[in-house]
Chains A and B, each alone.
Chain A
């Protein structure tokens, strides 16, 4: 490594800094697909290309493995990026920085619990016949 200094927080650490960048780039890609597929692509569902999103529209989309991977991939990246970002903000405050271990454990628990929540709520769409 050169002597060039990167703006990593000493408390948050280099890996957190690195994966924040990796997840950021992935999120831009996922978000582009997400917005296009949800709001612009004509899925041939009951509502056609109307702006209204329906259960059957989403079910039809999630019949394809690609969109399941996109949705769950985006969910995991957004949770990592969001909670890791929150962690970085918190560690700028002394009251949180000196409770690093507690914050880390809490954020991991919240992240994994939310990931499971997110996985479960998409299942009705995936199992739905989709009209």
Chain B
């Protein structure tokens, strides 16, 4: 494919109204698959962000730059973003678990049920995560 072919209309087969990825054309398994790829790509971006943040430890006396960055990232807005990260990871892990089950030939005949069971477990884990970060997001700190 040449760069000149990168026009929107050339991707109608992929994202158009009649494509298999148009929201109303997608079934459960396809949503799960699309979600897995989107969360996966987001997590790849996050890893590089994570390493960039840790790089600050190389600067400043005794990691002073790292400490001041950590102070900023402990603010509610950043903890909320951490919580979104937790949701993304839990979805990716639980759907990945489902993929491995199917690879081993387990549960394929009841794949929709298996998906929703995995998502129920994911929901429980997300609630656990919310419980863990609740105070950091919603309770104003008494000074750190």
A residues adjacent to B (C-beta < 8 A): 4, 6-7, 21, 24-25, 28, 31, 39, 50-56, 58-59, 78-79, 82-83, 85-86, 89, 94-95, 114, 117-118, 120-122, 124-125, 128
Contact = CB atoms under 8 A, between A and B. Distances in A.
B63 A55 contact: yes
A12 to B, nearest CB: 13
Interface string B61-92: 01110110011001000000000000001000
A66 to B, nearest CB: 19
Interface residues of chain A: helix, strand, loop or mixed (majority): helix
Nearest to A39: B132
Contacts of A89: 37, 40-41
Interface residues of B, number: 31
B35 interface: no
B51 interface: yes
Given A31-B89, A128-B63, A82 B44 contact: yes
A122 B44 contact: no
Contacts of A39: 132
